[in-house]
Amino acid sequence: MLFLTEARVRELLPMAKAIELVESGFRHQAAGQARNQPRRRLQLGSSATLHSMEAVDLTVGFLGAKVYSTHPQTGAHFLVLLYASDGRPLAVIQANALGQIRTGAATGVATRLLARQQAVVGLIGAGFQARTQLEAVALVRRLREVRVYSRTEAGRSRFAAEMSPVAGVEITPVDSPEKAIRGCDIAITATTAREPVLLGEWLDEGVHINAVGSNHSRRRELDAARRWRARRWWLWTRSSEVTVFKSNGLALEDPAVAGYVIRRPPGLVSSEIGEGDTLVRLT
């Protein structure tokens, strides 16, 4: 059984490949070849919460579970457990990076299917998830302009400086969510907001929204007006429609990318294991 560190995952999982793998996982689920178990939470009083989500993909022959804890002071800590189709444990993977990459990849899939070919991007949020959101969108669309808003000037300026080479265009920090969103073709929200940060009245026709920051009933990034404007989102052939990808994070995304990580490079042996990785022999 293999234990892989965050650094190893970043080395082995490029975003372009992750987009391909996540899309395959979605197709397998649509064809009835993959099954997804919704997220469950177990809270310890008012402090730590344990979260778990599981999936099986019959096509690639992997069973996977992501287990993670969250705490107001210590943050979030993710692990992915990967098993073979015969039940043998294959790997334990540190999964902060893996989750960040596969969440961005899911947005890449949605953007490739729903958004305009050339795009102005408005991004609300400049933290952990925002980086791979923009990275994935930049791989599937030609970006003409990117604007970013976050709560602190330092945060959005740092994001703009670090991510401009990734986006392929200069990123402009702005001082309000509205300035980020008005006139954009692709809107991305990657926040922990409990109240809406994106209002429907800011949206032009044909905007595609990737809302990725909230997977909890007590958090809401988008307002009700947005939902009504996107009420006919399934008519993808109409260029004037507002489309929405609400990313809650599906368990099947994890084995889709984790299976690739443990098989690359093929025939991984102990001499190829990175610093901190461990190969455990089970008897």
Place of tokens 């189709």: 85
Q: Supply the pLDDT for residue 274.
A: 52
Beta strands 89-94; 75-84: pairing state: antiparallel
Task: For residue range 23-69, list pLDDT tens digits in order.
Answer: 999 999 999 999 999 899 998 877 899 999 999 999 988 999 999 99
β 2-4/278-279 pair status = antiparallel
Q: Does one domain contain both 124 and 189?
A: yes
Residue 255 has pLDDT above 80, yes or no: yes
Hey, what long-range contacts does 50-56 have (CB within 8 A, 24 or more apart)?
53/249, 53/250, 53/251, 53/254, 54/251, 55/250, 55/251, 55/252, 55/253, 55/254, 55/255, 56/255
pLDDT at 228: 46
Instruction: Say whether both 133 and 39 belong to one domain.
Output: no
Average pLDDT over residues 105-110: 97
Asked if 65 and 157 sit in the same domain, the reply is no
Predicted confidence (pLDDT) at residue 148 exceeds the cutoff of 50: yes
CATH code, domain with 44? 3.30.1780.10
Overall domain count for the chain: 2
Residue 107 has pLDDT above 60, yes or no: yes
66 noted as active-site residue: yes
Average pLDDT of 246-272? 76
- Do 207 and 184 meet the contact criterion of CB atoms below 8 Å apart? yes
What would you report as the CA-atom Rg of the chain, rounded to the nearest whole angstrom? 19
Q: For residue 91, what are its two tokens?
A: 């790997």
Same domain, 164 and 221: yes
> Is 40 found in the same domain as 71?
yes
What pLDDT, on the 0 to 100 scale, is given for residue 185? 96
Same domain, 197 and 232: yes
Based on the fold, state whether residues 242 and 114 are members of the same structural domain.
yes
Residues 87 and 151 both lie in one domain: no
Residue 205 has pLDDT above 50, yes or no: yes
What confidence category does residue 189 fall into, taking pLDDT thresholds of 50, 70 and 90? very high
Q: 134 vs 224, which has greater pLDDT?
A: 134
Q: Which of 17, 66, 179, 246 is catalytic?
A: 66
Lowest mean pLDDT among 170-174, 234-238, 246-250, 266-270: 266-270
Query: What's residue 237's pLDDT?
Result: 57
Q: Which of 235, 226, 239 is nearest to 200 (CA)?
A: 226
The answer to whether the CB of 236 falls within 8 A of the CB of 243 is: yes
pLDDT at 246 over 80: yes
Residues 69 and 28 in one domain: yes
Same domain for 136 and 226, yes or no, is yes
> Which CATH number belongs to the domain containing residue 221 in this structure?
3.40.50.720
Calpha distance 156→163 (Å, rounded)? 10
What are the E-state strand segments in 72-176? 75-84, 89-94, 118-124, 142-149, 171-173
Which among 74, 64, 182 has a CA at the least distance from the CA of 120?
182
What average pLDDT does the chain have?
Answer: 87
Residue span of the structural domain in which 202 resides: 106-246
Residues 205 and 230 both lie in one domain = yes
Provide the H-helix boundaries in 125-169. 128-140, 153-167
In this predicted structure, what is the pLDDT of residue 217? 59
**What pLDDT is stored for residue 42 in this prediction?**
93
Residue 106's nearest CA partner among 19, 9, 195, 48 is: 19
Token pair of 251 as six digits: 């368990």
Is the domain of 119 the same as that of 233?
yes
**What distance in Å separates the CA atoms of residue 213 and residue 100, rounded to the nearest whole number?**
12
In terms of Cβ atoms closer than 10 Å to its own Cβ (0-12, 13-18, 19+), residue 166 is: middle
In this predicted structure, what is the pLDDT of residue 277? 55
